[in-house]
Amino acid sequence: MEDLTQEEWVEQLENDNNAVILDVRTDDEVEDGKIPNAIHIDIYRGQEFISELEKLDKSKNYYVYCRSGNRSGQACKIMSQLGFANAYNLMGGMLQWEGDIE
């Protein structure tokens, strides 16, 4: 797991052909907008969250975010324990996001 600033996260993401964006916020938070092309799995769903992660391709590079960076950091640690090759945490999360949202 690696914590990245928004600039590092975006730059690395743009140059990564093996990237997946993962939003771990709640459904209500996602209704306010999400980063384009992000898949959504709510970390608060407990075992269901783990089950959904297990369906993902562990060889991909995951760019993970939440509202502030705390839950996404936890998600990255969980992903690492589950055997994911790379998970990058967006420090500051959506609170500091200055890029596009959909």
Catalytic residue among 43, 64, 66, 76: 66
Is 66 a catalytic site residue?
yes
DSSP-derived 3-state class of residue 56:
coil
At residue 78, what are phi and psi to the nearest 5 degrees? Answer: -60, -45
| Helices and strands in the chain, H and E counts | 5, 5
Contact present, 42 and 61 (Cβ < 8 Å): no
Q: Which residues are catalytic?
A: 66
